[in-house]
Structure formats: structure tokens, C-alpha cells
């Protein structure tokens, strides 16, 4: 199927969708200057070839790109039901996605959370000085005078899920529920090999949803996807949003 035909199908399906769910991985942020993991020049790909890690901008230089902003446009159109992300880079929230519309499965480097009440707040809002208290990871020991949750006085920690940490139950539960009830499930920039997140397209397919994959590397779902885009994610998403705008106007 040619690109224009795939694009038209995607536009028509999203136009007719009542419950669009988008699932994003590290490939969404490569256009912002962050390397992905399993892409053609990804961190793990280069490691397996005996090569050094790819160059990356510092986090202070990283800004949302056209894929992030295209997803925001879908929110403004009232077309996005929920966004599920494996990324911790904060670019979705920085682009304008409402926090209640995103399940960040691996946390967010810019946010802390309370272990007791699940309150989310920035390090500044928490009064957390990394030069004194450190990164605040779950495995770190509690420090004397360490800030506590302003709501319930519970323990604050980085919301980032490191290797060995438990996955966030609330985000996993909501994301699985939305995957089961969506009518279109769109994957952008993920190799779909990290579980339990990688199981969510199956939940959508099992309940009759259309599966669209936009990724430059192979995924285990390529043979069952209804539409498979290999092109640059930013280009595809801009074309989809432009097509939707033409229909609306």
C-alpha cells in the first residue's frame, strides 16, 4: 500500500474514532535530539555492535518536536481519548498534554511522587534540592531533613521507574483499561518489546480496534497491524493532522 493510501486510511479511521489511544516510545523523541534504544542508531543497537552510545543533547536543550505537538493538536480537536507513554523525558507534558490524559508507564524525570497518596509534583514544588538530597530514587536511603509530601507527609521519590523498581500500578491499570476500550490504537516510535507495555496493542486488537504502527524499526506486531508506516514519525503525524484539519474546515 502506498504512503498516500495509508495516510488517507489513517485520517478516515481517526475521523470516525470515538476512543483513539496513542502509545509512544523513545522513537518519538529522536527528532528532539534524544537517542532511542532499539532503532537503527539506538543505544542498545550500537551497544550490541560494540559501538559507543549515540550523541545526545543535554536535557536542558531538549524541546518537544512536531510529533509531540501533533498529538496536542489531536487533543484540541477532541480526537484523543488517552496517551500512553514509555518515555521519561517530560516532552509530552511540556508540549501541552494534560496530565490526566497521559499514563507515563516509566515515570517522568521532572516529577516526584508520593509513595502514600500518589501525589505528583515537580522537584521545585517539593522543595527538593538534588545537590543535597540526590536524585530521590526508590533505592536511595532516606536522608535527614528530606522533604515529604505536602498533602499527606508521605515519602517523596522520583517518579522514574528504574530497573528492578515496581511498575506504577495506577498508570498500568488505566492504560490497560483504555487499551481494551479503544477503537483505534496508534503506536508511535516504539519497538513494542518491553512488557507489560508491549502487551497493550494485543488488548486493543482483541477488542476489535484498528492498529496503526509508526516506527522505523521492526516490531512484533508488524504482521497484524492494519496500517504500518515506516516513515519519519514527525512527517506522518503532521500529514495526519493536516488531513484532519482539511476535513474539519
Which of 68, 92, 106, 140 is labelled catalytic? 106
CB atoms within 10 A of CB 164: 7
Which residues, including other chains, have CB under 8 Å from residue 8's CB and lie 6 or more apart?
243
Annotated catalytic residue 106: yes
Alpha-carbon distance of 111 to 96, in angstroms, equals 15
Q: What element of type H or E holds 244?
A: helix 233-248
Can you tell me which residue has the cell 495506577?
170
In terms of phi and psi (left: phi > 0; alpha: psi -120 to 50; beta: otherwise), the region of 207 is alpha
Q: Break the chain down into helix, strand, coil percent, rounded to 5.
A: 40, 15, 45
Q: What element of type H or E holds 13?
A: helix 3-15
Strands 20-24 and 227-229: unpaired
Residue 38: φ, ψ to 5°: -115, 10
- Report the half-sphere exposure of 117 (CA within 13 A, side-chain side): 10
| Cell reading at 224 | 497484524
Q: Which residues are catalytic?
A: 106
Amino acid at each position: 500500500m502506498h504512503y498516500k493510501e495509508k495516510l488517507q486510511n489513517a485520517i478516515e479511521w481517526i475521523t470516525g474514532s470515538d476512543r483513539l489511544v496513542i502509545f509512544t516510545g523513545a522513537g518519538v523523541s529522536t527528532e528532539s535530539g534524544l537517542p532511542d534504544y532499539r532503532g537503527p542508531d539506538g543505544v542498545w543497537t550500537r551497544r550490541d555492535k560494540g559501538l559507543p552510545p549515540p550523541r545526545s543533547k543535554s536535557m536542558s536543550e531538549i524541546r518537544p518536536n512536531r510529533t509531540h505537538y501533533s498529538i496536542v493538536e489531536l487533543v484540541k480537536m477532541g480526537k484523543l481519548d488517552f496517551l500512553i507513554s514509555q518515555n521519561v523525558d517530560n516532552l509530552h507534558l511540556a508540549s501541552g498534554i494534560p496530565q490526566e490524559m497521559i499514563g507515563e508507564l516509566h515515570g517522568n524525570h521532572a516529577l516526584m511522587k508520593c509513595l502514600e497518596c500518589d501525589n505528583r509534583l515537580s522537584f521545585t514544588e517539593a522543595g527538593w534540592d538534588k545537590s543535597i538530597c540526590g536524585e530521590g530514587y526508590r533505592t536511595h536511603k532516606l536522608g535527614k531533613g528530606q522533604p515529604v509530601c505536602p498533602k499527606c507527609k508521605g515519602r517523596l521519590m522520583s517518579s522514574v521507574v528504574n530497573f528492578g523498581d515496581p511498575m506504577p500500578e495506577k498508570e498500568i491499570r488505566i492504560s490497560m483499561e483504555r487499551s481494551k476500550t479503544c477503537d483505534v490504537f496508534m503506536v508511535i516510535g516504539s519497538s513494542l518489546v518491553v512488557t507489560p507495555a508491549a502487551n497493550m496493542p494485543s488488548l486493543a486488537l482483541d477488542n476489535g480496534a484498528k492498529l496503526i504502527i509508526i516506527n522505523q524499526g521492526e516490531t512484533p506486531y508488524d504482521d497484524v497491524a492494519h496500517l504500518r508506516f515506516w516513515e519519519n514519525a514527525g512527517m506522518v503525524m503532521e500529514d495526519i493532522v493536516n488531513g484532519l484539519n482539511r476535513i474539519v474546515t
